[in-house]
Structure 1
Amino acid sequence: MCGIVGIFDLKDKREVDQQVLARMNQTQFHRGPDEGGLHTEPGVGLGHRRLSIIDLSSGHQPLFNEDGSVVVVFNGEIYNYVDLMPELQQLGHTFRTHCDTEVIVHAWEEWGEACVERFRGMFSFALWDSKKETLFLARDRLGIKPLYYGSLPDGTFLFGSELKALLAYPGFPRVIDDCAVEEYFAYGYVPEPRTIFEGAKKLPPAHTLTLKRGVALPQPKEYWDVPFTSHGPISEQEAQEELIVRLREAIRIRLVSEVPLGAFLSGGVDSSAVVAMMAGLMNEPVNTCSISFGDPAFNESAFAQKVADQFHTQHYVEQVESDDYDLIDKLAALYDEPFADSSAIPTYRVCELAKKRVTVALSGDGGDENLAGYRRYRYHLYEERMRAMLPLSIRKPLFGLLGNVYPKADWAPKVFRAKSTFEALARDPVEGYFHSVSVMGDTLRDKLFSNPFKLKLQGHHAVDVMRYHADRAPTDDPLSRVQYLDMKTYLPGDILTKVDRASMAHALEVRVPILDHQLVEWMSGLPSTYKLRGQEGKYIFKKSLESYLPDDILYRTKMGFSVPLANWFRGPLKQRVRDAVLGETLASTGIFDMAFLREMVDQHQSGMRDYSASLWTILMFEAFMRNVMQNESASKATGV
């Protein structure tokens, strides 16, 4: 895996400062410690950091076509490059390397912007065509690889694999986007296409951006979407058999590597399935890596060991103690913008462990979104059935009133917790799902923000992100629709961002076979009842794996990759939370109602309420403010 950066003059052909370009490139050294390369010509500068995986001897970047008129910097893997090479050779193109990068320049020459439709893999790349005076940027279909960009008032266009590359450009404005703050405190991350900064954006998954000098910065163009198109009648047995065939094939093409390769193994269904398929495809034992936790409530290591024993893997385990919170500042600097998924801590540690043994690791990410593994899908369908009994015009005033007057009772047995149910029934489906995934709901955010900050938002609401995608969803099926929403928000914004930064911090490449786009297309077309059957999520996936994995792996309660926040904030982090949440850093922003912040800390630490998720979200925002906003050389704080 690699890191890419670039500078492009939208207005003229001003010389690119090579020292600035080199400094931007160096901020991403951790993404590619094996080699670095720069290319400049009038008005254009491209930079690359390389982590060597394929064609170790000749895959240097920036990489050119035969006459030097097309040059590319590329982060990712094109898994079908072996198939594309002979096709392009027959069309007259000459290859000087055996790496997937060179396929990109020739595919561009042959197919132009449509070249991305031919690629099967994970990628972000930037390509400069000097004959056409065109800069072409692209990001893979699911958003596995990141790409950030921004333009300055003087016509300078910047891009990079991480925000820190843009921040390294002299004069890049570190102005916080107020709407991004609202979205962060709702989702726990800043969803595409926003970043925390007004002047920078994320190129959305499955989008390209084509720039020409003298032409205004265009909008990104979408080239693919999850279809959710039915395959027609397919029996359960046929679906099970085809799922295994397609999964094996998606994994097989991801085993190409000239460096040591392994897999993450949590003991959950998805990672265990990947390891089971790898064991049947590889001649040598699979290298597997797991993290264990001292707290048994969070520990899945025994299940991982069971799978490792079954498939005779070379299994490596390290324990993360419950006080592994010294990563807070490191993570804040690593992610460059507020990021509140606390599982970033164990993810960072498992990547650290994996890098001791391998350079490439396969993961099981994507199974929950594709095959309806999250419990919230089940709850959403239950709420949808209840909503269907009354029209919104009746539900909203009736249950809205009941939700307002009914007391909140988190401490009570579930049967008495009617407030959240009433509130859910008063919402439309998109609002309802938004609140089920929100880290901090509307009521809490209304209390969190100061009145002056709420005025600055001018009515912007975080649910607008989901409404945008819901309006474009290619399906009306209630389950498929919320899966689609997660694929557009949670998957790229949280899950894949978390894995990319944690792995790249250790120069580790992570491949995600369940997010192979051809597999995703096929799974999206399965009947919803094959994905969620009664209380069982990932129904067809689990059934198809019954001959590979034991029932106590397939059908046990999902644990997730969690850390004990509530205990941390009442115990070893008690004073740190108080100092950070109530300190000058947050008070000086003007964003927060400081009296409510004090109330949150007091009530959580007294045991009256559990505000752990909200406090972690606030804590990571404070760490971002200190490590990025108040630190002009924030990239040095990553320690990598």
Structure 2
Amino acid sequence: MDGIFGWLGDHGAHQDLIRHMRGAANPAPEGLLHEHSSQMLGVAASSRFGKADIHVENGLAATLTGRPVFLDEELAFIARDRNPATAVAHGWIRHGETLPTLMHGNFAFAVLEPLKKKACLVLDRVGAERLCYAYRGGHLVFGTSAQNASAHPAVGRVIDPQAIYDYLYFHTIPAPRSLYQGVHKLLPGQMVTLKNGQLSTAFYWQADYTPVDAGFDAHRSDFRTVLDEAVRDIDAPSTAAFLSGGTDSSTVVGALTAVRGAPVDTFSIGFDADGFDEMEYARCAAERYGSRSHEYYLKPADIVTAIPVIAREYDEPFGNDSAVPTYFCAKAAREVGFEHMLAGDGGDEIFGGNARYAKQKLFENYFRLPAAIRRGVVEPIAHLPGLSDHFPLAKLKSYVRQANMGLPLRLESYNFLHRTPLDQILAPDFIHAVDPSTADAALTEVYERTASDHYINRMMHLDLKFTLADNDLRKVGTMTEAAGIEVHYPLLDDRMVAFANHLPVDYKVRGQMLRWFFKEALRDLLPEKIINKSKHGFGLPFGVWSTQYAPLGDLVGDSLADFKQRGWIQPAYLDHMLAMQRGPYASYYGVMIWVTMMLEQWLQANEH
């Protein structure tokens, strides 16, 4: 995998430290290692795909990973003529902290100035890349991987109980927290600077949701131009595409086919399980575009194969089970010779495609009623003694309860850690070691930080961070790299994100119709069957298969038995989940069983 790491601060055995930090990741980074170290600093870049490098010149060291686009012509020339890390170094000298505003695309970089005792760490706007850091004992340590950063002797690897709670809540560990105490992660569009011994954070970019009402035809023309440019700029002969049959992947395949003027290779995953397989839609899109379609039907045995890969490849516990089909899809592409793939991630989060956007409209409409009617009529009726627990008042009572919960916390009303009292799920000592309120506070902070007062835009801004940067992009990026593929996200091109953010809200969600503008603007490109399909997702029938396929069931049982010894979750609750999974709630409880199993599997694979 490509990545960067290093430090600023006095350290004697600096060459040994470079090797130690590189070897700390599990698995150790592959590819060419570029490195430089001195008494006061160390920088290194491991480059398997050719997108990471370093540059040292005149007392300044820069290291970068990613595929940045430099908007400054001189810097763009330096990046082409030499390498992007050199362009970062020169750009820093010329522009200082405004440099990242002159860069688009996916990137993470660090600039160190030891004589001035200054440093700067930067992450791209959508969080396609990753960057961790720690500041301990006068040392600023950084790394693409939390494992790299925590390996520095000034930092260390002490697991943060709050990170474990966050993982159980979110099924990943959202930035800025990491698994290890003292190690933090940059947020999308964020910059960390060190000056005069003081560390500070700031956003060099924030999503701008100011609506531009230019009319449908003008917006459609701009959209199709940006889509064409975004796909054209990242196309290469060795590029294939994911094709799930959803709106986003079908759009990317259609646009890529149009750009090339020739059929493209697509890779799709199917499931031989009721309610999970969407291959008919992938075939519909492939037929429409004349794609060379490659299909693979996932089997329960494949999950058993993938679990240790997932545990090994992620630098922190990761609980999104669709990492499994992502890995096998990318693996199939690599096996026939492809090196790059286009993915459709991001379309839902910038164009209004997630079902919760429409659902929350129903709750927000409650507040259009005058307060006197809500409190004096509706709510007393919803709580009538002896009747409120029976249909239809039970439905009204639930509606009122959820509406009054408010956004964004209402989005988590079905979270496992909210549905059951915590003292029935978590061990007492673990509860005392964490603050459960911080998870909801993290959601509220991002929601309220949105540069818009409209709840639809605020939910989309929340999803840019928690659904994309913390989850889906980590899922896809890590699994494709594990398979030997470099992934690209044309729908998250900076120009596309800016365009979508400026659309009026009712162009995103019109009534109960999701991504209205996107679908209307692509009616000539997308098959009608795909435009009209209901939102599904890339789910995995793990809950069902783990009760039907003995080797998978045994792995689940052994993992949870080992996990009981950790002292974090009540053994009785783990047994309860397993019992409920054997009944009609296999899929529902399968989610938390997967999350818990992968936590145990990750800990076993990464405990040093």
Q: TM-score, normalised by structure 2?
A: 0.90
- 1:498 CA drift (Å): 0.8
Letter of the 2:492 counterpart:
L
Residue 470 of structure 2 is aligned to residue 493 of structure 1: yes
Following superposition, the deviation at residue 276 of structure 1 comes to 1.3
CA gap of 1:287–1:166, structure 2 versus 1, over 3 A, is same
3-state SS in 2 of match to 1:62: strand
Structure 1's 4 and 472: CA in aligned 2 closer, same or farther, altered over 3 A? same
* Deviations 1:220-263, CA, capped at 9 Å, x for gaps: 221011111111x32223222221112212222223x5x72222
**Distance in 2 between the 1:353 and 1:604 partners?**
31
Query: What secondary structure, in the 3-state scheme, does the structure 2 residue paired with 1:176 have?
Result: coil
Residue of 328, 337, 343 corresponding to 1:363: 343
What residue in structure 1 maps to residue 224 of structure 2? 244
Q: 2:484 corresponds to which residue?
A: 507
- Which residues of 2 match residues 511-522 of structure 1 at below 5 A? 511-522=488-499
Q: Does the 8 Å contact 2:288/2:527 carry over to 1?
A: no
Q: CA deviation at 1:27?
A: 5.1
Equivalent runs, 1:282-301 vs 2, <5 Å? 282=260, 285-295=263-273, 297-301=275-279
Q: Secondary structure at the match of 2:200?
A: coil
Deviation at 1:497, TM superposition (A): 1.1
1:101 maps onto 2:85 in alignment: yes
CA distance in 2, matches of 1:443, 1:497: 29
Question: Contact conserved, 1:20 with 1:169, CA < 8 A, in 2?
Answer: yes
Report the Cα offset of residue 423 of structure 1: 3.7
The equivalent residue for 2:605 is 627
Paired position in structure 2 for 1:263: 241
Cα separation, 1, equivalents of 2:24 and 2:159: 21
> Cα RMSD between the aligned structures?
3.2
Match of 2:53 among 56, 61, 65: 61
Equivalent residue number for residue 373 of structure 1: 353
2:298 is equivalent to residue 320 of structure 1 = yes
Structure 1 Cα separation of the partners of residues 118 and 257 of structure 2: 45
User: Hey, what does 1:305 align to over in structure 2?
Assistant: 283
Amino acid across the alignment from 1:250: A
Instruction: Say which of 31, 38, 42 aligns to 1:41.
Output: 38
Matched, 1:559 2:528: no
Question: What is the alpha-carbon distance in structure 1 between the residues aligned to residue 392 and residue 206 of structure 2?
Answer: 39
Task: Report the alpha carbon displacement of residue 481 of structure 1 after superposing the two structures with TM.
Answer: 1.3
Shift of 1:420: 5.0
Query: Which amino acid is 1:3 matched to?
Result: G
Deviation at 1:33, TM superposition (A): 3.7
Matched AA of 2:7: I
Alignment-mate amino acid for residue 141 of structure 1: R
1:111–1:171 Cα change, 3 Å: closer
Asked if 2 retains the 8 angstrom alpha-carbon contact of 1:207 and 1:220, the reply is yes
2:67 is aligned, of 65, 77, 82, to: 77
1:274-285 equivalence runs, <5 A: 274-282=252-260, 285=263
Contact preservation (8 Å) 1:185, 1:445? no
- The corresponding residue for 1:443 is 420
Q: Does the 8 Å CA contact 1:124/1:145 hold for their aligned counterparts?
A: yes
Structure 2 residue aligned with 1:116: 100
In the alignment, the residues of structure 2 paired with residue 406 and residue 53 of structure 1 have an alpha-carbon distance, to the nearest angstrom, of: 66
After superposition, the Cα gap between the structure-2 partners of 1:95 and 1:498, relative to the gap in structure 1 and judged at 3 Å, is closer
Name the amino acid aligned to 1:228.
Y
- Tell me which amino acid in the other structure corresponds to 1:105: A
Paired residue type of 1:39: H
Q: Tell me the equivalent position of 1:137.
A: 121
Matches within 5 A, 1:161-240: 161-169=144-152, 172-212=155-195, 215-216=197-198, 218-231=199-212, 233-240=213-220
How far the C-alpha of 1:354 sits from its partner, in A, is 2.4
Distance 1:472 1:446, change over 3 A: farther
Relative to structure 1, is the Cα distance of residues 96 and 493 closer, same or farther in structure 2, using a 3 angstrom cutoff?
Answer: closer
> Aligned letter for 2:125?
R
Is the 1:30–1:506 contact (alpha carbons within 8 Å) kept by the matching residues of 2? no
Query: How far apart in 1 are the matches of 2:384 and 2:177?
Result: 32
Task: State the partner residue of 1:468.
Answer: 445
Is contact 2:49-2:486 (8 Å) kept? no
Quote the offset at 1:391 in angstroms.
Answer: 4.9
Instruction: Please say which of residues 218-227 and 25-34 is displaced more in the overlay.
Output: 25-34
Q: CA deviation at 1:458?
A: 4.5
Residue 571 of structure 1 is matched in structure 2 by: 548
User: Structure 1: which 5+ residue stretches go unaligned?
Assistant: 55-59, 633-640
For 2:453 and 2:95, locate their aligned partners in 1 and report how far apart those are by CA, in whole Å: 34
Deviation at 1:170, TM superposition (A): 5.0
Task: Confirm or deny: 8 A CA contact 1:6 1:45 kept in the other structure.
Answer: yes
Q: Distance in 1 between matches of 2:371 and 2:166?
A: 29
Q: Secondary structure at the match of 2:518?
A: helix
The alpha-carbon deviation at position 122 of structure 1 amounts to 0.5
Identity of aligned residues (%): 25
Is the 2:321–2:594 Cα contact (8 Å) retained in structure 1? Answer: yes
Are 1:618 and 2:596 matched, yes or no? yes
CA contact (8 A) 1:16 1:45 kept: no
Pairwise CA distance, 1:144: 0.7
Are 1:288 and 1:316, in contact at CA under 8 Å, matched by a contact in 2? yes
SS in 2 for 1:45: strand
Residue 325 of structure 1, CA deviation: 1.9
Change over 3 Å in CA distance of 1:555–1:566 after alignment to 2:
same
Deviation at 1:42, TM superposition (A): 1.8
2-structure distance, mates of 1:95, 1:189: 35
Rate the CA distance shift 1:30–1:269 in 2: closer, same or farther, 3 A: farther
The one-letter code of the counterpart of 2:108 is S
Q: How far is the alpha carbon of 1:131 from its aligned partner?
A: 5.5
| 1:378–1:333 CA distance, 2 compared to 1 (3 A) | same
Please give the per-residue CA displacement for 1:90-127, whole angstroms capped at 9, x wherever unaligned.
Answer: xxxx7783543332222112101111000011001112
Taking structure 1 as the reference length, the TM-score comes to 0.86
How much does 1:444 deviate? 5.3
Using a 3 Å threshold, how does the CA distance of structure 1 residues 340 and 391 change in structure 2: closer, same or farther?
farther
